[in-house]
Structure 1
Amino acid sequence: MAFQITKEMLVGSLMPVVVYWVYGGLYTMLGYTCNNYRLHPKEDEDDKNFASKQTVIRGVLFQQFRQFIATNLLYMLTRGNDAGASSGYLHQNKFLYKHLHSKHHRLVVSYPFGAIYSHPVEGLLFDIIGGTLAIFVSGMSPMTSAFFSSFCNMKSVDDHCGLILPGNPFHFFFTNNTAYHDLHHQLYGGKYNFSQPFFSIWDKVLGTYMPYELEKREEGGFKLRPVKECKN
């Protein structure tokens, strides 16, 4: 049978991309008007990060293009039917962190569009190959993978948005939230609070959980502090 891309395949590969930019765009707009809910002042996104927003956006688009190709190749090989390494290691292994995962941590002050900004090799191994294998092994159809991947993208964007908005359902259902992951991006928190995007249980089991508190800043918004620092 000749390879072909169906409507369901295109939806399965494009829907997560569209959701990523639409949801990220919503948070970006909220970031300009919700100063009282920000974890960092808006200007810190440019002043304290080690990668420009133009670089981040180009990196994310490149990653999504490769994911689109890989996903559709999988769909064509399996005819789009229902047949069908952990991130902590990247932090603990000094060589892998220095040469791969440290690129994502160039964003000390994270923002929505930087959620999947990473080294091309890391993106290939974990997101493209790992994500494609997960779809294949689980037997998800293109439409099922579209909704699942879109939900994962929304959670990842939420974790990196830098806003503690009241009534956020992600914060209600998951203890691993925006503040939890923001601590991980700080220079002092790189070896703590690895868990992302959903559950924090493994940090607590393996001793990599760093408790924190949120304090109100005089100029508006919140400031995140480790509990140990607060007690001292």
Structure 2
Amino acid sequence: MGIFAPIVIYWLYAGFYQLMPPLDKYRLHPKKEEEEKNLVPLSKVVKGVLFQQLVQAAVAHLTSTADKSGITIQPSISIQIVQVIIGMFVIDTWQYFAHRYMHQNKFLYRHVHSQHHKLVIPYAIGALYNHPLEGLLLDTVGGAIAFLISGMTARTSVIFFCFAVVKTVDDHCGLWLPGNIFHIFFQNNTAYHDIHHQLAGTKYNYSQPFFSVWDKLLGTHMPYAVVKRHEGGFEARPVKKDTD
């Protein structure tokens, strides 16, 4: 379950967005802009995500077969909630610094992280369109560290990783839908990450997938405003910082 549930959830949730009507009045970018600016076709994105998930599943399988701890007793719901919150902060910390370094290191950006930014206009299925090395370092290693430090059981980790996958897909969906609970409860949301994919925001908003704490603490937070476009839909506009 820990290996395959997040993969199944990814394709169900991303597929839900993909199969929805165009919903132009809720899009952060016009559909035409997505087709013109993105540098890879959907078919290549799907293959890239599947390959990354295959690598991650193989690594997770090798790790699980090495675990001889046996069946463990589930702690109380309150303890599990605390463990999940700790896991959220741990994976955010790991991904912030790793993600930021991949932007600052020219070699890593050119040969690894730039693959993700070929989707200049993000969409749901492309949420995990990364170089396999990036997927291994950010997601697999980051998830393993969060799992170990939080002390959650394997059963709790299934819930945690499925939630992280849903949140990541939602952050890349490109839609500013009314009533979206992630937009209500998280400042780090679809518009927040959309700013990072824009030219003006590539040095900002590194935090993912849950909170924006590290961006705010370390001066890489780019405020934004979501406004309606004249031709319909919404737009996430960076609010210029006084200093870089």
Q: Same fold (TM over 0.5)?
A: yes
Q: Determine if the alignment matches structure 1 residue 206 to structure 2 residue 195.
A: no
Indicate the residue corresponding to 1:215 in structure 2.
Answer: 227
User: Do the aligned residues in 2 keep the contact of 1:66 with 1:128 (CA within 8 Å)?
Assistant: no
- Per-residue CA deviation, residues 116-145 of structure 1 (Å, 9 max, x unaligned), is 111122122222333334434544433222
Moved more, 126-135 or 21-30: 126-135
1:78 to 62, 67, 84: 67
Q: Which runs of 5+ in 1 are unaligned?
A: 1-10
Whole-Å separation in 2 of the counterparts to 1:81 and 1:45: 48
Alignment match, 1:179: 191
- Find the aligned partners of 1:200 and 1:135 in 2 and give their Cα distance: 21
Offset of residue 82 of structure 1: 5.1
User: Contact between 1:75 and 1:142, CA under 8 Å: does it hold in 2?
Assistant: no
Which residue in the other structure is 1:88 paired with? 100
Find the counterpart in structure 2 of residue 42 from structure 1. Answer: 31
1:128 aligns with 2:174: no
Q: Deviations over 1:10-48 (max 9, x none)?
A: x11111001101111112233x34211110112333221
Structure 1 position 113 matched with structure 2 position 155: no
Q: CA deviation at 1:109?
A: 0.3
Deviations 1:143-188 (A, max 9, x none): 2221111100000001000011111111111101100000100122
Q: 1: distance between equivalents of 2:48 and 2:131?
A: 8
8 Å contact kept, 1:19–1:154: yes
Matched, 1:19 2:9: yes
Identity of aligned residues (%): 55
| Counterpart for residue 4 of structure 1 | none
Separation in structure 1 between the aligned mates of residue 130 and residue 207 of structure 2, nearest angstrom? 17
Tell me, in whole angstroms, the C-alpha distance in 2 between the residues paired with 1:101 and 1:158: 20
- 1:108 counterpart SS class: coil
Q: Deviations over 1:70-115 (max 9, x none)?
A: 11221111146559x5211111222221221111111110000111
Residue equivalent to 2:87: none
CA RMSD of aligned residues (A): 2.0
- 2:19 aligned residue: 29
Structure 2 stretches lacking a partner, 5+ long: 74-93
| Distance of 2:25 and 2:116 partners within structure 1 | 26
Number of matched pairs? 217
Q: Alignment partner of 1:13: what SS?
A: coil
SS in 2 for 1:224: strand
* Alpha-carbon shift at residue 193 of structure 1 (Å): 0.9
Q: TM-score, normalised by structure 2?
A: 0.82
Q: Is the 8 A contact 2:102 2:108 kept in 1?
A: yes
Letter in 1 for 2:131: H
Equivalent-residue separation in structure 1 for 2:33 and 2:183 (angstroms): 24
Equivalent residue number for residue 7 of structure 1: none
Give, as a single letter, the amino acid of the residue that structure 2 aligns with 1:34. Answer: L
Distance in 1 (CA, whole Å) between partners of 2:102 and 2:122 is 19
Tell me the CA shift for residue 223 of structure 1. 1.8
* 1:104 equivalenced with 2:93 (yes/no): no
Question: For the structure 1 residues 213 and 13, does the alpha-carbon distance in structure 2 shift closer, same or farther, using more than 3 Å as the test?
Answer: same
